[in-house]
Chain A
Amino acid sequence: MKYIKRIFLFAIPALMLGACTKDLNINPLTGAVASTVYNTPTSYIEGLAKVYAGFAVTGQEGPAGEPDLSAATVDEGSSDYVRSYWSMQEYPTDEAVNHWNNQPGAEEFQYHVFGWTSSNSTVLTGMYDRIYFEVAIANEFIRQSASSILASKGFSASDVTNISYGRNEARFLRALTYYHALDLYGSVPLITEADLPGSFLPKQVLRDTLFNYIESELLDLSNNNLLSAPGQSEYGRADEAAVWTLLAKLYLNAKVYTGVDRSTDCITYCNKVINSGVYSLSTANGDSSYADIFLPDSHTTSASEIIFPIRMNGATTQSYGCTNFIIHAEVGGTMPDSVFGINGGWAGITTTSAFVSLFDTTNDKRAMFWTDGQTLAIPAVSPATTVFTYGYGVTKFRNVSSTGVRPYPTLDYVSTDYPMFRYADVLLMYAESVLRGGSGGSSANALTYFNQIRQRGYGNTNGNFSTTPSLQDILNERGRELYWEATRRTDLIRFGLFTTGTYLWPWKGGDASGTSVDTHYNLYPIPQTELNSNPTLVQNPGYN
């Protein structure tokens, strides 16, 4: 008996030990993995919504909390996609100056004076990280919606069609994200759905290669009609017109990105948008038509003009970024909160005298400046001494509708959509490409489109040109029409005015009347945190 007991005592542990080694590969019991997240048609729509929402919000909880990016390295609010992109495109130009004086690295201040480095700005790091987060979730959606995977899920045919369509939308959003990376950082890693998440070191590609990838993705979407015709899809979702507009932008700046002029291709795609007959400049509200584009009811008043908006809603799309940031930060001094539909401005941003001088402020309705209590001149920009009253305020974006109603008056989050792509931009791109020698268009049309914009801006024909505008006129008109819509830096670079001494504005390069800076500032540096975690990356020239 005793022996049997002893044998049992030894045998049982031995059997248990044997069983242990088999089950080392198990699925996590808690947390989400792709097979549990992407398992119903609804969850796919939610996944696609996240890819869209990545431009407007910063995490799973509005306005902040449960952030997408770790709060230890980037602040959640200021790493919002549109906010960061806007900051990097507007602050280092004549259009915007930041007056916050309490940031640990005083980093928003660095942009206007061209003092940024790879490690002194969490906005720079946040933008880079946010771009690749967007790429990562778009890649995952594209992976999970491959036809072979959908076939194994047993969904209905109509669900499969919807999800496959969503896959094309995700490809457009990913191309848009890479376009921003191309414009801001130049040569960066290219990570596609073929690269599974894991611990690998992504390889950097040349700027040309990235340009070609973006072009090939967009051409595939356009040539094979993978997205709906213009005006056919739900407002806010990507369609063919968005693809064509992005192609036009890519080609307009191709000389900067690749050294090869692509003005003809730009005209081709501008014509596709123009000739679709779906879009027109919004003129329904007389002199207020321009202003209406930047109000919370723009989807009703100005849908004919807005090609691709980033939709915001004060109740369901809350963040400290996107238009919530623009509207709060533009309000300060004596600007009354109620006019802007918010509870308290952040007194952050004003504009320079160089920019104001582009306007005929008496007759151009687009000159929306706040002058009461503000000085036109900016005596100082350093964080220790600058204040909001330096420089005119801007009143372009507001959270009060064209009928004077503030949506969600009890919430301090805006409902104003951010117009990522607008028809006015397409018209100006057409005119510029014609002047740059592209074929497929005519200078007569260029003049017509240019005057359409002038006419809408002035409310009458007094501002119209009688002869074809010059390239400098186009640049100035882009400033007047598209200001504070995150295109200025790209435009100035394309015209060779961003770093050179030909066009100076107050505090450019840190000098009160402006000074030229070294040309390496035409590209932003890759963040130091990224260089540290990926030693295969090579920094852009001139930095470190």
Chain B
Amino acid sequence: MIKKTSNLVALINVPVGTNFSNQLITNIGNMEDKGVEFSINAIPVQTKDFTWNAEFNFTYSTAKITNLSVPGDSSSFTLVTHGGIAGGTGGTVQVYQVGYDPQEFYLYKQVYGANGLPLEGVYADYGRDGSPALQYFKTATPKIFMGFSTDFAYKHLSMGFTLRAELENYVYNNNASNSYYGGMANGTGFLSNTTTAVLKDNFVSGQYLSNYFLENASFLKMDNLHFGYDLGKVIDKKVWVRLSAAIQNVFTITKYTGLDPESPGGSGIDNNLYPIPRTFSLGVAIGY
């Protein structure tokens, strides 16, 4: 199905001096979303002692900006950068541009040496003025969402889990881009801390706009795994007891090197320093 949206609201550059700021929230922009989704609910097995049900859903969607001109002036065109990052002064890594996803990244293309490590400060495609060209890469929005949840029940036992996956979403690892040897020297004569990312790229100065830090954050997560045991009525058939155990955040399979591929939310920029905890819980429910 295709959904077209017009008169989106966006913060765009306006000619300075015509108003009291350099950007104004304006009705501007058209966007087109295309996609397909379906879900399947099934109870594959249902007998006296054993029940198994499962649910699977799948979504594929892409979005594209189709127009960014100021209404009434089709010759004008605005390129709006967004996606501020930490470190350095005022850098942005994303852009709104016609023909691309709204969360498109806008970075320099890193050049790698013979040993596969990035060459610091060397980028592909320099402009006439000697500075590297910013290019469009990937987006923070996943193309595919999938979910699968299932429950088994056999006599007194029950068990279930939930899986979730997002594919083709990319994340700009701001924690890694903020780690460089030069950043450890802070003028007091002592060194400050940085993350282990610096050991991999060996950068001496900040290379915030390199696409080396743009990583594929596709993931498969098991959100939840739970078990239950129903003891039934005990103690003279007066009291029922049920035991349960659950694990939250069971595992995450991803190539992303940061802490959690989902932590940036929709923004695609990861500044998160705290890992997501894995929680184990046991429960006893008693009633009469």
Contacts and interface: CB of A to CB of B under 8 A. Distances in A.
Interface residues of A, number: 50
B47 interface: no
Nearest to B20: A136
Interface stretch (A67-75, A234-242, A357-365, A474-482): A67-75
A99 to B, nearest CB: 11
A52 B88 CA distance: 29
B113 interface: no
A347 interface: yes
Nearest to A108: B89
Given A72-B82, A104-B209, A133 B22 contact: yes
A152 interface: no
A125 to B, nearest CB: 8
B79 A70 contact: no
Interface in A156-201: 189, 191, 195, 197-201
A419 B125 CA distance: 44
A78 B88 CA distance: 11
A75 B188 CA distance: 26
B91 interface: yes
B21 A70 contact: yes
Main secondary structure on B side of the interface with A: loop
Given A133-B20, A200-B18, A532-B78, A345 B187 contact: yes
A53 B242 CA distance: 69
Given A117-B129, A197-B18, A332-B187, A384 B121 contact: yes
B204 interface: yes
Nearest to B14: A533
A140 B20 CA distance: 9
A102 B183 contact: yes
A140 B131 CA distance: 39
B16 interface: yes
Given A72-B11, A105-B209, A136 B19 contact: yes
B81 interface: yes
A128 B82 CA distance: 20
A101 interface: yes
Interface string B150-191: 000000000000000000000000000000101100011000
A534 B20 CA distance: 16
Given A72-B81, A189-B15, 4 more contacts: A73-B81, A197-B20, A384-B205, A533-B78
19 contacts: A77-B89, A78-B89, A78-B90, A104-B209, A133-B22, A191-B17, A191-B18, A195-B18, A197-B18, A198-B19, A199-B14, A344-B187, A344-B188, A347-B187, A384-B121, A530-B16, A532-B79, A533-B12, A535-B76
